[in-house]
Amino acid sequence: MMYTAWNISSERNQHIFEFTQTDTVQVAQEFISTSTKMQHSKQPRKM
């Protein structure tokens, strides 16, 4: 939940302060990609 709020806030700030505009689909794809990477990094390593 916190990660979702952080991503929304970050995109909003980029839009306002850096004058960028991102499509909703691109934001969702980036969120899914980053979430997947985080989940894989938390899995224990096999020995």
Amino acid 9: pLDDT? 86
Answer yes or no: pTM beyond 0.85. no
Q: For residue range 2-44, what is the model confidence (pLDDT) as tens digits?
A: 777 887 888 888 888 988 888 888 888 888 888 888 777 776 6
Q: Which residues of 19-29 are buried (b: 16+ CB within 10 A; e: fewer)?
A: eeeeeeeeeee
Amino acid 43: pLDDT? 66
Amino acid 1: pLDDT? 67
- The amino acid at residue 30 is E
Amino acid 47: pLDDT? 61
